Chain A
């Protein structure tokens, strides 16, 4: 149903997100179970969560932004960057989760 599989897309998204200006950190957005499996096998999968279901793709990324930056502007840029990685015509929802507002080091 898609040109790019979810597994192939996720690492691309990681690169695009971490390259977005204003993103201080990127965290795993994958479900707890997937993270637990990674932990057991001592592996490191992609941080982005890409889920294909019912001919629709949902993408979730989890980021940290500086308290000094415009969170919405950074998150919007992240969403645009995520969209840019997926050239398929499958409708996708993009959820950007700001999990930390990081104070600059004093």
Chain B
């Protein structure tokens, strides 16, 4: 078990603990992890990253993602899920309030990146200058060598806007996508 500084979502478990839990097939079941949204989101990110790395190795017989890339992305994921602000989706007059967490939006944005060919999402930032203002999104990505950057960035930008705005009253302001790196996995676009 971890100390308080490494604790994910108040679960009492650290990133290393979750990694070990995933490695042993999530058995025996740990309720504090399975019932915790932040832990589940981090586990999902680990699974995505693991799948991606395996695909690159198996399909292209290429170098896997560098450990530094994996580590930096997981650090970002951890940071994002600690930024747990709630953003109103709907305020009804009957005492019902529906909110979405920032962490859920971060995960959504990363899922958009997963669906864009040749893009790996690095850092994600959300900024809402004032309550009810549109959300500004800043994303840094790595683009696969040979993939045309402009269409990749456009696809990412449009995907983020559409993904967020389909949820309640959420509106998106600026979407800045920065290509901060290029990676190789042996498959180039035509």
Residues of A participating in the B interface, judged by any CB pair closer than 8 Å = 25, 27-28, 32, 35-36, 38-39, 44, 47, 62, 64, 67, 70-72, 75-76, 79, 83, 91-103
Contact = CB atoms under 8 A, between A and B. Distances in A.
Given A44-B35, A62-B37, A93-B97, A72 B103 contact: no
A101 B40 contact: no
B11 A39 contact: yes
Contact of A96 (B11, B96, B166): B96
Given A32-B10, A99-B104, A101-B167, A76 B36 contact: no
Given A91-B95, A100-B40, A27 B90 contact: no
A45 B168 CA distance: 31
Given A72-B90, A103-B114, 18 more contacts: A35-B32, A36-B10, A39-B32, A47-B35, A71-B166, A71-B168, A72-B89, A72-B167, A91-B95, A92-B95, A93-B96, A95-B96, A95-B97, A98-B100, A99-B101, A99-B104, A101-B104, A101-B107
B74 interface: no
Contacts of B105: 101
Contact of B37 (A39, A95, A99): A99
B111 interface: yes
Grouping DSSP codes into helix (H, G, I), strand (E, B) and loop, the B interface class, with mixed when no group exceeds half, is mixed
B181 interface: no
A38 B12 CA distance: 11
Nearest to A98: B100
10 contacts: A27-B40, A35-B32, A36-B10, A44-B31, A47-B35, A72-B89, A72-B167, A75-B90, A100-B107, A102-B107
Given A38-B32, A99-B37, A76 B103 contact: no
Contacts of B20: none
Contacts, number: 101
Nearest to A25: B40
A99 B101 CA distance: 5
Contacts of A76: 90, 96, 98
Contact of B10 (A35, A97, A102): A35
Contacts of B10: 32, 35-36
A67 B95 contact: no
B86 interface: yes
A50 B90 CA distance: 21
Nearest to A73: B168
B49 interface: no
